[in-house]
Amino acid sequence: MTEEQPEKKKASRFGSIAAQTGSLKIGGKSKQESSSSLSPVAHVPLIPQSMPIDPHEPRKQQTAYIPISLQKWLRVRAPLEERDISDIVTEALIAYRERVEREESQE
């Protein structure tokens, strides 16, 4: 008695977050949206002109643990702004560094 094992399906690999923006999962139900129905998001850069990020500066991976709700928001928001998550995090860290340095200089 030889039973054939059902063929296991390989999990499909998804592309970048930007490639996934056409499908949103809301409340356990998938909702398909065409990219043309998404309204453009205004982007106001937080990086001051005095400290631009050098696009040629080497990057290094850094793992940071953030709340799940913030991670989900960021994964949806980044492609809506057509930005990389790393760029958004870098922008936020530069703004934080400037605030800390400003507070330290006032002491």
pLDDT tens string 78-89 = 999 999 999 999
Would you say residue 25 lies in a domain? yes
Would you say residue 5 lies in a domain? no
SS3 11: coil
The pLDDT of residue 45: 52
Would you say residue 10 lies in a domain? no
pLDDT at residue 54 greater than cutoff 80: no
Q: Which domain holds residue 71?
A: 17-53+64-106
SS3 62: coil
Would you say residue 71 lies in a domain? yes
Q: Is the pTM of this model over 0.75?
A: no
Would you say residue 9 lies in a domain? no
Tokens representing residue 95 in the block: 């703004």
pLDDT tens string 3-46 = 666 666 555 555 555 455 554 444 544 444 444 444 555 555 55
pLDDT at residue 92 greater than cutoff 80: yes
The secondary structure of 12-59 as a DSSP string is PPP--GGGGTTEEEETTEEEE--GGGSPP------S-TTS---TTS--
Smallest CA-to-CA distance from 35 within 69, 82, 68, 74 is with 82
pLDDT at residue 47 greater than cutoff 90: no
Tokens representing residue 102 in the block: 């400003």
Would you say residue 3 lies in a domain? no
